Amino acid sequence: MQQRKGYFFKDIQKMSILALVTILAFGIAVPVQATGNMKATYIAFDGKQYEYYSKTISKQPTWQHTAYNKASSTTQTVKYNVSREKYVKGSVSTAAEFGLMKTGVKVSAEVGVGKTVKESTTVTFAIPPKKNANLAYGSQKVSTAGYIVTYSRGNVQSKKAINGNWTYSAYSSMTEF
């Protein structure tokens, strides 16, 4: 009889392990008793943020030129006076909204809301011997559209459609051919 009891307990132990593995593997809900300390929770976020559905970063050339040096055996250094505009345009109208937009798309700006500033400079390129080159100068810009969303306790209270495009730096490029 003693030997039979040992098998009985081993069978119970195997079945318990099998039941535990089944619960863990299949995510079977196990009832848990709630405590009296449970309180309703909420996302503690009050404020505004920019949420975009469109963001495009691109180059906007304001000057282009083809430099020829294919016949020469020496490097040719060329300088050009060029200009470009720094700007912020679109439906964005306040510095606060624009600050939210810049934070939302993670791109800075060169000027403030509604501003356009013309900048002139000199660019220098070194054209290698036996090569020609396409030269360009202009602005890097971002264009975005989305919403200024106002939250209270994590819930959306309002959405305002807004769009903007602005420059964030100058660029120059040379492509040899």
Q: What is the mean pLDDT of residues 142-147?
A: 97
Give the amino acid at 54: S
| Strand-pair category, 76-90 with 116-127 | antiparallel
| 21 three-state secondary structure | helix
pTM over 0.85: no
Gap between the Cα atoms of 177 and 165, Å rounded: 33
84-110 average pLDDT score? 96
CB 169 within 8 A of CB 141: no
Query: H or E segment at 141?
Result: strand 131-152
Check whether 117 has a pLDDT greater than 70. yes
Least confident of 34-38, 62-66, 90-94: 34-38
Query: Which amino acid type is present at position 145?
Result: A
Return the pLDDT at 45: 83
How much is the pLDDT for 19?
Answer: 66
Residue indicated by tokens 């040719």 = 76
Q: Which amino acid is at 83?
A: S
